[in-house]
Structure 1
């Protein structure tokens, strides 16, 4: 329970919310273009920049930022819930062990389910507010007239029932694999890089965040298209079934999309989505990592939490321990090398000394004067007279046997 309500989980949640709000604000026009391409099926422009130019020309310069506040509010709440749940569950499950790709995927999936169930009403409202006042080519779309977030909640509950706030929940639950896949790849790539270095640069974080989001978005994009249509909820389609978000409606919309536009119709707006979501996710992770590290440093908890988010501080301690062991092993190898080198030098000097002694003895033996009677060197004769073993003599000229 302490791990769930920990200060570290709160810091990660706030940092994730701030990072997502910052990134979405910067790239919000791209999200506007993506949503128009998904919902307005009869729009002829296919590229992101052409859609943005049409929106500005027809609806005004600030039109790409229409619905910014409700989107940012929903995004802030959504990412706060997701990051808090992700880090809390991971802290409870990992408990000092090294995390794995499978654990990251499971924790991300559970955090996504919690996030969807709690924040779907906010996304339904912000989708409708964002598209309110837009000029559509599709006549099947019914216009809306909301005065704000509270009024939108009131009108939806009054006219469509409270369950309409959870329109698109089923595809949203399927789409929890999007952040789960994203965090799985992000954590995996991060662990691989941290095996080679102790700290990631800003560019490293930006790139791995972008790659992880690009993979997750491409895999789940068809369901994101259905999700946007169901959240908007203003199409005059499938009138016999008002329980929007059911499996039947999801399959119906997928079938209609493929029948009208072919299989590529499921990926209409993918260019804008990839451009927006990849850049947004990369910038969000960058702000998130820097903010968590700065917060933990200021609060004196850098060692405990700066490397966690969303991977836990136990992993950092394990990496530090591995690095310390590697340093100790390297130092021990250097010491052994020094000892071996010293022993080698001593042995070489001893060998040189023995060789010099032998040469000196040979020189003395050879240069000794001969005995006039036996014509034998005097030192040799001294050895014979003293009956010393061969190779020794009675004087003190030599200290070790010849040989």
Structure 2
């Protein structure tokens, strides 16, 4: 068989290798359509074209057959014609698309993000997915080496714990991840080392590509507001064949916080006598004061009040300051009729003795009514009684 060329589609050109066949003699009586000889050839691809010599007429006597005689047909399976045979698209590629597949760019639209400043690190703020093309079915074939690579370009890797690769964005505290999945199960994240070999068919199965927007900075160090630029993108390649590019649209980030309208509060307590506090744990002198905030809509605010004189104090009694001369007495701060337990100066959600002061349904100016009062702690000694506390808000 001399070299010849077959065209199967506008985008695929298949080149046959020359297969040399010796002269053949057919026995009399070979029926039409009988397989007489099969010769297989293997080039770069993992499928083989089958060249079959078929008798096209009956012979009454032995005849000489040469490959150039018009008594043979090339039989090839449809799967081979899709790119798996003795054909080669170019000299270097070992992977190719199954007709009519081609490379695709998948763009995921991300809406504006409004988040609380103290959302825990690692919290997924938004997840967006798009189906593959095709959603299911064959899209490519690979012969050896069949190296696949799933990588991210245009950003700096900031976390890779358990192969969950998180990349920086143009906004501090906001990161992005790229991933794939199929049949409702998330697969691997794109990043360093996500590579390997696979020789054979590549198929989608209810597949999709996705991105995650994630909180990256430590609690209390809030992300800044602004536009996240779409500089990072992910690619999936098979050897030198680009299969998919996954990108996202720029999006806005707004941080939900509150402004404290009463940053310093002085509570003037009434004069008290020992007779007003007859026993340990008795209280006196309830005095109302208000803490003022102005909060963005949708933000939940929790608070921790810390004993400034004894920061490790976790009781409900605020200790006297070092400039006090009285003893045997302390203070309580009451919220909704319940004494507040003091805690560490921390914005971490769930910190010891943290309590919610602003529900998410509140927006705008908000006043928190609190009550201060004396509490007897032991043998009382008259004198001045001063106490100091600080408060830390956690935006959740």
Higher-strand-fraction structure: 2
TM-score by length of 2: 0.21
TM-score by length of 1: 0.21
Question: Which of 1 and 2 has higher RCO (CA within 8 Å, sep 6+)?
Answer: 1
Higher-helix-fraction structure: 1
